[in-house]
Structure 1
Amino acid sequence: MSSEIDDISLFTSAQTNLYKYGGPILMILGTISCVLSLIVFTKKILRKNPCAIYLVAYNIGNLLQIYTTVLLGILSNGYNIDLTLYSLSFCHFHFYTLLLSAVLSPSYLILASIDRILITSSNALTRQRSTLRLTYICIIGVTLFWLLFHIHALFLTHNIEPAPNVIICSFQPGLYASFMNYYIILIQDILVPLSMIILGAWTVRNLRKRHQVNFATATTAVTAVTTAAVTARPTHSKNNQLIQILIIDISIYIIFSAMMPPALIYIQILQSRSSSLAEIQLGILLMNFALFSSYIPYCVGFYTNFIMSRKFRSEIKKIIWR
């Protein structure tokens, strides 16, 4: 019994310190990252590119995630300040923004991936479909879809009392709670990352095919180089750099979101059988570590792009000198 109490105390302390000290640092780094990224992608030279517009929407979605989900997670887990307990309306709002912000940014990355598939296609007509008009329509359409799709959270979340004097804001118990748990696992934690992997691989495949075509054409004869520049022109350097940035953002998202499905599955297993307090606390700790890990992709985009992308570093230097 003493050992179990020590384990629970250790798990609780680790969770609290992670959010209390690591959370504010992550928020500050994330805010700086999003603001600087927005400054870069809204520059005149880039904002006419559809992929740059998707990355602007992505960073706006990241700011929404930081100042709703991340902030409330830090207050609750790090400082024991749970605002959802003081107001049922805020409980509704919290879960609505939690579900909304978790899919908005990834959706913009998926749209950007589709745009890069279009622009790297060997078919000229397909490349012409990558337009600013289509970009704005897709961003507005996807945003409205998720705004309406998650509206049920404003009505089916409640403050419940699972134990005496213990009140939590949660999904309505029963079928709805089970449905939402599986929705989060299947859609947010499996389907979204899988879509990113497939679309990213498709883009890389298109790039390799075009490079192979251009190389083969260029080696046939000196005169064929001029023809290749017209009929099979390589993707512009700016587009290549944006593709690189997109692949980096997708990779970071997948890596740091990978912990969430196992944590949710473990929680489901604990709920399906009789578990000790230490096991339950361990499950909560793993869940909160997975949540904290899932916040990281929204906060480090600027830094990874600055390290990996020459074009991004060049734009930052221009901003600093001006």
Structure 2
Amino acid sequence: MWTTAEFVLFQKQLFNILVPIIIIIGNFGSILNVIVFSISKKLRSSPCSLYLIFASIGFALYLNIVALLRLLQIGFNIDPSSKWSWVCKIRFYAVGFLLMLPRSYMLLAAIDRYLMSISSQHRFLSHRIALKMILLTCLFWMIICVHNIIYYDIQISLNGTNPICSNPSGTYSTFLSFYSILINGLSMPLLMTIFTLLTLRNLKHYRNQIHNNSLIIILQRRKKQEWSILRMILVQLIVNVILSLPITIYLCYNGLTQYIQKSSIRIFIENYIYNMLTILQYLNAAASFYVYSLTSHIFRKELYYLVAYYSNKLKQYVINYSTALFTQMTLTFTT
């Protein structure tokens, strides 16, 4: 039977191995997402691509700020948020803001695909509207998450010796529990699931119409890349819900038991489980590129074309540069 020290050591080693890998592959995938959706003529024609670009940027920021700070805290016992109040406030503001922002963009992408499944000529399906929604969503969460800056500060831990960055007990703690359950835990997965099911219902309806030999002409007019993006988003939303479900259950449990007197070993177990569940959140932030690559032929094809194109450009540049350098050296030697 392991002791608590051995469990802590195992968790520390696990964080030191997994989290850096997740951050690296997540950044790599986010960069490729932005490049593909920005440059590809087929994919960038859809306003939904803007939501996916900004969602990828948000996921990358989440990994490079939130996941990195957690790695320093768990893996290396470095926690600047427990030393400086302003770091504590900014850290949890970033946690709240960057957790919700990319997920909100994914939700907007799901709504966009739902509207597209109703009618490809819907007035909200435009790049101009998408940019406005992206900006408004960002401003919305910047304002909503201000409570983290106001209330989070350096507190004294339960053992009365170690300073920690945490929220104060009392009314705000109760509010934060319900906020975490309703906003972070339930609202996003629930809304994503609703729009996913609605979109799938519309797709099933269209399939039935095809089998009945009706509306074939209308369906044939729909762009292939639109449906490819839809499939990517649907799978990504399913992955998001699956990876978010464990921590949602934990948030519900934590909110329901916050006023129960707990032993030190129970508190240790709950904190241990929470830390392990955060790894799933980091995996969720790093998964989008790999989900898109596995589920969309058009995405893979466009990625291959871009890699081949820029590889040839780089190869040609190296050849031209080498030729020019060789010519210059030859002239210099001759002179």
TM-score of the two chains, using structure 2 as the length reference = 0.86
Distance 1:258 1:124 in 2: 32
Distance 2:27 2:199 in 1: 29
Identity of aligned residues (%): 25
Kindly indicate whether residue 190 of structure 2 is the aligned counterpart of residue 184 of structure 1: no
Match of 1:223 in 2: none
> Is contact 2:81-2:165 (8 Å) kept?
yes
Match of 2:276 in 1: 289
1:269 Cα deviation after fit: 5.7
1:169 Cα deviation after fit: 0.6
Match of 1:38 in 2: 34
Match of 1:82 in 2: 79
SS in 1 for 2:3: helix
Q: Which runs of 5+ in 1 are unaligned?
A: 219-226
Match of 2:46 in 1: 49
1:26 Cα deviation after fit: 0.8
Match of 1:98 in 2: 95
1:78 Cα deviation after fit: 1.1
Distance 1:139 1:93 in 2: 22
CA offset digits 1:150-181 (Å, max 9, x no partner)? 11211211101133321111113211122112
- Comparing 165-174 with 50-59, greater Cα deviation is found at 165-174
Query: Which letter maps to 1:83?
Result: P
> Is contact 1:72-1:82 (8 Å) kept?
yes
CA offset digits 1:66-86 (Å, max 9, x no partner)? 111111111111111101022
Match of 1:275 in 2: 262
1:308 Cα deviation after fit: 2.1
Query: Which letter maps to 2:307?
Result: I
> Is contact 2:52-2:109 (8 Å) kept?
yes
Match of 1:129 among 112, 124, 127: 124
> Is contact 1:214-1:233 (8 Å) kept?
no
CA offset digits 1:285-318 (Å, max 9, x no partner)? 1111111111111112112221222111111111
Match of 1:222 in 2: none
> Is contact 2:104-2:137 (8 Å) kept?
yes
Match of 1:153 in 2: 148
> Is contact 2:13-2:75 (8 Å) kept?
yes
Cα separation, partners in 2 of 1:24 and 1:228, compared to 1, 3 Å: closer
Match of 1:236 in 2: 223
Kindly indicate whether residue 65 of structure 2 is the aligned counterpart of residue 65 of structure 1: no
1:109 Cα deviation after fit: 0.8
Distance 2:93 2:133 in 1: 22
Kindly indicate whether residue 128 of structure 2 is the aligned counterpart of residue 141 of structure 1: no
Distance 1:300 1:232 in 2: 31
- Comparing 265-274 with 105-114, greater Cα deviation is found at 265-274
1:228 Cα deviation after fit: 4.5
Distance 1:254 1:59 in 2: 17
Q: Which runs of 5+ in 2 are unaligned?
A: 310-335
Query: What's the C-alpha RMSD, in Å, of the aligned pairs?
Result: 1.9
Match of 1:111 among 108, 112, 121: 108
Match of 1:197 in 2: 193
SS in 1 for 2:212: helix
SS in 2 for 1:197: helix
Distance 1:155 1:161 in 2: 17
- Comparing 266-275 with 17-26, greater Cα deviation is found at 266-275
Cα separation, partners in 2 of 1:174 and 1:7, compared to 1, 3 Å: same
SS in 2 for 1:258: helix
- Comparing 261-270 with 171-180, greater Cα deviation is found at 261-270
SS in 1 for 2:155: strand
Distance 2:274 2:216 in 1: 54
Match of 1:319 among 300, 306, 314: 306
> Is contact 2:25-2:286 (8 Å) kept?
yes
1:103 Cα deviation after fit: 0.5
Distance 1:14 1:242 in 2: 40
Match of 1:175 in 2: 171
1:44 Cα deviation after fit: 4.2
Match of 2:315 in 1: none
Distance 2:200 2:287 in 1: 23
Match of 1:224 in 2: none
Cα separation, partners in 2 of 1:207 and 1:265, compared to 1, 3 Å: closer
Distance 2:169 2:128 in 1: 43
